[in-house]
Amino acid sequence: MKNSEIKFLVDLDEKSLPKNIQWDASDKEGEGLESTKSISLNIWDNLNHSTLRIDLWTEEMSVVEMKRFYIDILGGMAQTILNSTGDEYMAEEMKDLCDRLVKHVNEENKKG
């Protein structure tokens, strides 16, 4: 059996807020740590039948980038639910939500 490792390193400021986030994975294309502005990790807790979440972002992450990040996450989740369960209705509803959110963010950006 093959093992794969994913690693996150988070530098915190004096208030324990993320100042710098780096990640590495044994199966990624490039070698070594790469910087990022945000991570969102979800873990299924088998014992309690609930989802554990870790959401971190640096102060460099703009509001527009954060909104785009979460729209992309939702779109990826739509594809994952389709691939893993075959539930086309749920996947399409999630994609429709992403479309509405993109429209919302685009309209917001035009005003600002």
pLDDT block averages, 10 residues each, the chain of length 112: 96 97 94 96 96 97 96 97 98 98 95 80
- C-alpha distances (whole Å) from 56 to each of 25, 40, 50, 61 are 18, 7, 20, 10
Domain boundary (17, 39, 59) is at: 59
Q: Are 53 and 69 contained in the same domain?
A: no
Q: What one-character DSSP code corresponds to residue 3?
A: -
> In this predicted model, what pLDDT tens digit does every residue of 35-48 receive, in sequence order?
999 999 999 999 99
pTM (global) more than 0.75: yes
Comparing CA positions, the residue from 45, 43, 38 lying closest to residue 20 is: 38
Task: Find residue 87's DSSP bridge partners.
Answer: none
Q: Which residue range(s) make up the domain with 82?
A: 62-112
Choose the final residue of a domain: 20, 36, 59: 59
Mark whether 55 and 67 lie in a shared domain: no
Strand partners, 25: 6
pLDDT, residue 112, reads 72
Strand-pairing partners, residue 6, are 25
Tell whether 25 and 77 lie within a shared domain.
no
**What is the enclosing helix (H) or strand (E) of 85?**
helix 63-85
